[in-house]
Amino acid sequence: MRRIFNTLAGRLVALQLLLYAVLLPVLFYRLDALARANAISTFTQHTRAYGAAVARELELGDVLESASRTIAFLDGSVESGTCLYAAVKVNGRLIGSSVVETPASVQSRGDDGAFSASSDSTYAVAIPVRRHDRDGALYLGFDKRPTLRQLQAARTRIVEALLFYGAASVLAAVLLARLVSAPLTQLRAASRRVARGDASAHLSTSSTMAEIRDLSSDLELMRGELVGSAQQLRDEIQRRQLEQAERAALEGQLRHEQRLATVGTFASGLAHEFNNILVPLMLYTEESLEEVGTQQPVRTNLERILRAATRAGSVVSKLLAFSRPIAESRPEAVHLGAVINEALDLFQALIPANVELKRQVMLQGERVLGDPTLLNQVVLNLCSNAVRAMRERGGTLTVTLAPAVGKLPQRAGGATTVVALSVKDTGHGMDAATRERIFEPFFTTGEVGEGSGLGLSIVHGIIMSIGGSISVASAIGVGTQVTVELPVLPSAELAAQPLPA
Amino acid sequence: MASVLVIDDEPDVRDSIRVVLERAGFEVVTADNGLSGVEDYFQRPADVVIVDIIMPRSNGVEVIKKIRAAFAGARIIAITGGGNFGPLGYQPGTIVTDAYLESARQSGADAVMTKPFHRSDLLALVRSLVRN
């Protein structure tokens, strides 16, 4: 009920009803009084005029000459339907119409004067009549009932008209409310769609009312701005998310590089210490070998010590290679495709029967700046790791060399295009924790004695030293793909470099 | 008898070189740092100086420069265990073995040798410098 009252139509109808409760009775009584006054005035004028005409006839004519003529005259008045009764008082004698009985109270009543609805149905009129200087009186009785019926009918019509007017205006109020609330409902539905994220929902309405049209066009303007700024916000959020992801990736890469650098520094320091320890070890052993005779059994042991020390020296130099891979290298413009083919030709002989080698070397003349021996080492190292991963189950080793869309940082005057060398196996793969550490020196997944664990760290050092990048993708049970990206030498730089024969 | 001055902060390195050279007939003087090594040389110039490059206090390159500045005919061999070293110790990507060796050459070393080395290489190098 309260809900209906709180709608526009409810309010308008309630207001109308309240107004009618006050106004309709007032209107009714006013209109009723007007109609009544009008009818009574007409009735009394009519009776007076008739009465006066009859009186004049009695005064001027010879109707009163004889009683019989008087009675006949009065009978005519009654029979015409105008009067209920008619009587004349002449010389103190009352003569009435013979058609109806004249009420006895006629002489005492005189003129009714006022029209009363309640008393009786007869309106009495008494008019003085002068005849030959003698006073007489005419008494006439008129029927009030037709007038009273007219009044009742008029009252009914007034009530009907007022009720019709009331009903019509309530209906008009409801229609008006509809006219206002229908476009508002439309706007509300559209704004709900907008709120749900439907940017295409227009806040328009078909209303012909100026205020509502203005409101809807203002709302539509506001929606346009809101949708625009929401889009801007979404774009901004997306941009920031991308930036964040990029920054996280960069930070991860930086942490990785920093850890490698730390490990490299540590390895370098360790190598330095070991080299210092190896100096007396080798010199004293060799000195002792000089002193002992060729047939003494201790000689064999000394030679073993010397071999071990020499081997230790080569391990340490590999360790140093991690932190200074370029130290002994002589970079030159290298035809990478040729280097890789050469390395693969060598490697072919080492591949077990259950591994198939696929070559996809798709480069013709591209050259990179690097040491061919070191690049050869890179290819061999990556390939032997790949084969080791497939040792048990066999599989396919795919070596691809192709131009790539690289993300290498631009060096001043450096290469703009990039080649990618990828070495892919279908071996056991590795988990994320392993993938994270494979470039660290001495990190190995192989069996003890199988490898030094220095291979990939040296590969990493070699690639970094010539401005390249190296990345690893791997999945357990699927395989591993190592991708090396190297900057291609532009032709100007190429011309300045001595080419290998 | 030819004399050799060995300057190295590592006692084991110093002593092992001394043993090898003395048995081969050289007179050997040792110093455990650059400053005293230069002092020794200035008091009595040896025929050959073997100096480590990476040493605390006065490093090998400084030693070579001082000796070469005063004695144009000095014969100097620079040795190093390699590694990445900056002025304050291990430093990534600052100075690598080659840079030290190159620096030693430029400041006047006649030969450079990386540790560890064989007895035969050491003797051959020292002998060739003494002969010249």
Q: Please report where in the chains the tokens 């030498």 appear, as a residue.
A: A489
Taking chain B (132 residues) in runs of 10, the rounded mean pLDDT of each run is: 93 95 95 92 95 82 91 92 53 53 83 90 94 80
SS (H, E, C) A8-73: HHHHHHHHHHHHHHHHHHHHHHHHHHHHHHHHHHHHHHHHHHHHHHHHHHHHHCCHHHCHHHHHHH
Structure confidence at residue A178 (pLDDT): 87
Q: Name the residue in chain A with its Cα closest to that of B121.
A: A283
Cα A171 off chain centre by: 39
Q: What is the dihedral of CA A310, A315, A316, A317, to 10 degrees?
A: 90
Residues paired with residue A332 on neighbouring β-strands, in sequence order: A370
Helix (H, G, I), strand (E, B) or coil at A300: helix
Asked if the Cβ–Cβ distance from A282 to B116 is below 8 Å, we say yes
Closest chain B C-alpha to A269 CA, distance in angstroms: 6
β B48-52/B75-80 pair status: parallel
Residue A311 is encoded by which pair of tokens? 């081997």
Do B119 and A266 count as a contact with CB atoms less than 8 A apart?
A: no
Per residue in A418-429, pLDDT (tens digit) is 888 999 999 888
Chain A residues with CB within 8 Å of chain B CB = 261-262, 264-266, 268-269, 271-284, 286-287, 290, 309, 313, 320, 323-324, 327-328
DSSP category for residue A439: T
Dist. CA A368–CA A501, nearest whole Å? 16
Chain A residue numbers with beta carbons less than 8 Å from the beta carbon of B23 are: 287, 290
Helix (H) or strand (E) holding A269: helix A210-291
Min CA distance, B124 vs chain A (Å)? 14
Interface of B with A (CB under 8 A): 10, 12-13, 15-17, 19-20, 23, 54, 81-85, 90-93, 96-98, 114-120, 122
Residue at token pair 């070191």: A374
Q: How far apart are CA B105 and CA B117, in angstroms?
A: 18
Q: pTM of the full predicted structure? A: 0.45
| pLDDT of A40 | 87
Each residue of B26-50: pLDDT tens digit? 999 999 999 999 999 999 999 999 9
CA–CA dist A440, A458 (Å, integer): 9
- How far is Cα A472 from Cα A427, in angstroms, rounded to an integer? 14
Give the CA diameter of chain A.
205
What distances in angstroms separate CA A127 from CA A139, A253, A256, A280, A407, one per listed residue? 7, 131, 135, 171, 130
Task: Give the bridge partners for B50, in sequence order.
Answer: B6, B77
Give the nearest chain A residue to B82 (CA atoms): A272
Who contacts B23 (Cβ-Cβ below 8 Å, separation ≥6)? Answer: A287, A290
Digitized pLDDT (tens) for each residue of chain A, 501 residues in all: 778 788 888 888 899 889 988 988 999 999 999 988 898 888 888 888 888 888 888 888 777 777 888 888 888 888 887 788 888 887 778 888 877 877 767 766 666 666 765 567 788 888 888 877 677 888 888 888 888 888 899 999 999 999 998 899 899 989 988 888 888 888 888 888 888 877 777 777 777 888 888 888 888 888 888 878 888 999 999 999 999 988 888 887 777 766 666 666 677 778 888 889 999 999 999 999 998 888 888 999 999 999 999 888 887 877 766 555 444 456 778 888 888 888 888 778 778 888 888 988 876 677 888 877 778 878 888 888 888 888 888 899 999 988 876 555 544 444 467 888 999 999 888 888 888 777 776 566 655 444 445 567 778 877 877 788 888 898 888 899 999 988 888 765 444 444 443
- Name the residue with tokens 């009543």: A109
Q: How far is the alpha carbon of B54 from chain A, nearest alpha carbon, in Å?
A: 10
Percent above pLDDT 90 for chain A? 14
